[in-house]
């Protein structure tokens, strides 16, 4: 999917908020050019499940974890973790330039250790966000096991190994199952 297609698919009405990213800020990073191109076209400001994107909390700058937090004891690998957004607990969603721009969710209370891999790349994240949003909108808070199985199958079409390579979405599916009990 191209970045403009993502935006067109995401914005359904005027209430959908979109965040634009400054390409000059992106240019300061070592993420790859295709990732820069994709996110320079923007991202939704918020998305299910309780995710937010943008740099508002970071003075509209594109920081890596190491430079933003400036803790003396941070692992040098955090220089590769470029902040894209966060979850509802304040854990940063990052682009890991050391692993070909894999998307990670980091634990802000545990020295920014990786909680889960969200996606193999930013395009995969965009596709996953659309897939999850469409599911949530279609079920309107009540869903069956069959609908969850259909969601899993759609994730498998995006990435046949999503449950291993994108553990975040597998966890979210299991959270949906837990809500049914």
Give me the chain's average pLDDT, please: 94
Cβ distance 112 to 128 under 8 Å?
A: no
pTM of the predicted model, to two decimals? 0.95
Binned at pLDDT 50, 70 and 90, residue 181 comes out as low
Neighbour count for residue 143 (Cβ, 10 Å): 18
Q: pLDDT (tens digit, 9 = 90+) per residue, 19-39?
A: 999 999 999 999 999 999 999
Binned at pLDDT 50, 70 and 90, residue 150 comes out as very high
Q: Compute the distance between CA of residue 67 and CA of residue 117 in angstroms, rounded to an integer.
A: 22
Q: Compute the distance between CA of residue 25 and CA of residue 35 in angstroms, rounded to an integer.
A: 13
CA–chain centroid gap for 120, Å, is 10
Judging by DSSP bridges, how do beta strands 113-119 and 92-96 pair with one another?
unpaired
Q: pLDDT (tens digit, 9 = 90+) per residue, 35-89?
A: 999 999 999 999 999 999 999 989 999 999 999 998 888 999 999 999 999 999 9
3-class DSSP state of 48:
coil
Q: pLDDT (tens digit, 9 = 90+) per residue, 87-112?
A: 999 999 999 999 999 999 999 999 99
Give, as one character, the DSSP assignment of residue 64. Answer: B
Q: Compute the distance between CA of residue 73 and CA of residue 111 in angstroms, rounded to an integer.
A: 9
Residue identified by tokens 């470029």 is: 82
Question: Does residue 122 surpass a pLDDT of 90?
Answer: yes
In the chain, % of residues over pLDDT 70:
99
Average pLDDT of the residues in 149-173: 92
Cβ distance 95 to 31 under 8 Å?
A: yes
Average pLDDT of the residues in 122-148: 94
Cβ distance 155 to 128 under 8 Å?
A: yes
């Amino acid at each position: 999917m191209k970045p403009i297609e993502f935006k067109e698919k995401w914005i359904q009405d005027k209430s959908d908020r979109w965040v634009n990213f400054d390409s000059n800020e992106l240019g300061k990073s070592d993420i790859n050019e295709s990732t820069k191109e994709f996110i320079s076209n923007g991202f939704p400001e918020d998305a299910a499940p309780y995710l937010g994107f943008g740099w508002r909390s970071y003075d509209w700058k594109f920081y890596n974890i190491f430079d933003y937090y400036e803790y003396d004891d941070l692992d040098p690998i955090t220089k590769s973790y470029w902040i894209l957004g966060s979850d509802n607990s304040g854990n940063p969603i990052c682009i890991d330039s050391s692993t070909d721009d894999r998307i990670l969710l980091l634990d802000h209370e545990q020295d920014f250790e990786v909680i889960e891999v969200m996606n193999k790349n930013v395009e995969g994240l965009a596709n996953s966000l659309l897939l999850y949003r469409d599911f949530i909108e279609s079920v309107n808070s009540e869903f069956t096991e069959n609908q969850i199985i259909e969601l899993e199958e759609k994730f498998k079409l995006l990435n046949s190994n999503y449950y291993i390579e994108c553990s975040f979405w597998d966890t979210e599916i299991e959270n949906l199952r837990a809500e049914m009990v």
